[in-house]
Amino acid sequence: MSKAIQAVRGMNDLLPDTVERWQRIEAIARDVLHAYGYREIRLPIVEKSELFARSIGSLTDIVEKEMYSFEDRSGDNLTLRPEGTAGCVRAGIENGFLHNQIQRLWYAGPMFRHERPQKGRYRQFHQMGVEAFGIDTPDIDAELIFLCARLWRALGLEGLGLQLNSLGTPESRAVYRRELMRYLETQRGNLDEDSLRRMDKNPLRILDSKNPAMQEVIAKAPSLFDHLDDAARAHFEKLGEYLGQAGIAFTVNPRLVRGLDYYTRTVFEWTTDRLGAQSTVCAGGRYDGLVEQLGGKPAPAAGFALGMERLAELLAHQDLGAQPARPQIYLVLLGASAEQQGLVLAERLRDAGLRIECNCGGGGLKAQLKRADRSGAHHALLLGEEEVRNNSVTVKNLRDSETQTQVAQNALIDFLKKMTERGEQP
Ligand code: HAM
């Protein structure tokens, strides 16, 4: 036997049980998004590499070392998208739906980053992302956070903490950057290798270091928050008021800097202590300069994205309600004439709105009942030689082996519907 090929490291198969859980999460999320007027947009997975260098920033970890980039057969430099915001802005400019307009959009799908895989961190992962364009005021920042909070409630998710910061304007950040650099110069001897590397290119990211040995240096660093310009400070305070009014608790974390360069003013992260090191479930903020930076007419914007793998892991033990993908009925077919009639009977029952898994590929009664049990169906319909002869079907309750009833085929749909009305499965 030749060696079996395995999946690419960090890229996981999502098996049906997981997919069904994800679909329930997505359905709940969709309802919440629609309750706020957000509309879905579907974007390409591959974009020109330049898009990400110009938006996420050429000195970020993502662009420097995590992108899946390649030259295609026409010699174009392309990249598997590492996130959704850049593509969404690109699409907005290209399709002309950003200029002087308010747009509330969401998207979902796979993203790709060549990170070191570990629990909660993968090379292909999935996000649901939300972007609001054209609104400059903190009411939309608040609305985005309300939307998250409503989603956590709808999912029955507790224990997520909200961290907030303001990064100010690019101008105020430049002033801060210089001051931070001066401080870090005095600390050179205490910086780890990663921080030394970031020192010249992206010193703000040093504040984000998780290395315990760096925490003292970070704690004593000047605070970005103290360097905010007045407008950014007022914006942040207003957001705090909105959140307070809505009873949403938050912590101001002046060290929260995010790993993408496009943010301005508000940034936030929802974190949990239940997922180990990969604790951020959802993150985002404002990116008022990005539309212009990518060649569009200036338009303010804010948004966030949640990580599906992390969210699903948190919800692994939660009952998210119905499992509509499971069949209600398994149709057992015994003998050639039953097989002959079976597929058509299954079609008739589906026409009546029932979910049927029909036995295909033959097999004896025992084997078929085993499959029926595994299908998750509540009832089996048995069609054998005798039933074919007298135009009937035997209805068998799979969860209570005692109950079995013969029903005439022309009365079957009525029978099954009445069963549903009585609150019994199916
Ligand atoms: P991000 O913080 O890079 O932001 O990613 C958002 C979320 O995606 C993270 O909080 C995490 O839950 C999930 N995530 C990121 N990388 C991985 C990974 N390797 N494996 C598993 N999950 C991961 C953005 O992507 C921004 N585009 C968010 C945004 C939208 N900002 C404004 N609008």
pLDDT digit string, tens, across residues 164-181: 999 999 889 889 999 999
Measured by CA distance, the residue closest to atom 25 of ligand 1 is: 83
User: The sheet that has 77-80: what strands, in order across it?
Assistant: 46-48, 77-80, 68-71
Give the per-residue pLDDT at 170: 87
Mean pLDDT score of the chain: 93
Strands 77-80 and 46-48: antiparallel
The reply to whether CATH 3.40.50.800 applies to domain 329-421 is yes
- Contacts of 333 by beta carbon, 8 Å cutoff, 6+ apart: 339, 342, 358, 359, 368, 383
Cα(61) to ligand 1 centroid in Å equals 13
pLDDT, tens digit, for every residue of 343-378?
Answer: 999 999 989 989 899 999 999 999 999 999 999 899
- Residue 279 burial class via C-beta count within 10 angstroms: exposed 0-12, middle 13-18, buried 19 and up: middle
Cα(287) to ligand 1 centroid in Å equals 15
Closest alpha carbon to 321 in 110, 154, 186? 154
Give me the residue spans of the domains in the chain: 16-168+228-317, 329-421
Tell me the torsion sign for CA atoms 263, 266, 270, 275.
Answer: positive
CATH code assigned to 16-168+228-317: 3.30.930.10
At residue 6, what is the residue type? Q
Cα(282) to ligand 1 centroid in Å equals 7
Cα(307) to ligand 1 centroid in Å equals 6
Cα(335) to ligand 1 centroid in Å equals 55
- The full DSSP string for 82-102 is S-SHHHHHHHHHHTT-STT--
Tell me which residue has tokens 């993968």.
122
Tell me the average pLDDT across 241-269. Answer: 94
Contact yes or no for 265/144 (Cβ under 8 A): no
| Token pair belonging to 61 | 């970890």
* Helix (H/G/I), strand (E/B), else coil: 356: strand
Measured by CA distance, the residue closest to atom 30 of ligand 1 is: 304
**Any residues with Cβ below 6 Å from ligand 1, and which?**
83-85, 113, 115, 120-122, 125, 127, 129, 131, 259-260, 280-285, 287, 303-307, 309-310
Contact yes or no for 85/131 (Cβ under 8 A): yes
Cα(272) to ligand 1 centroid in Å equals 15
Instruction: State which ligand 1 atom lies nearest to the alpha carbon of 260.
Output: 3
- This prediction has a pTM of 0.89
Closest alpha carbon to 82 in 43, 55, 53, 111? 111
Separation between Cα atoms, residue 420 and residue 409, nearest integer Å: 17
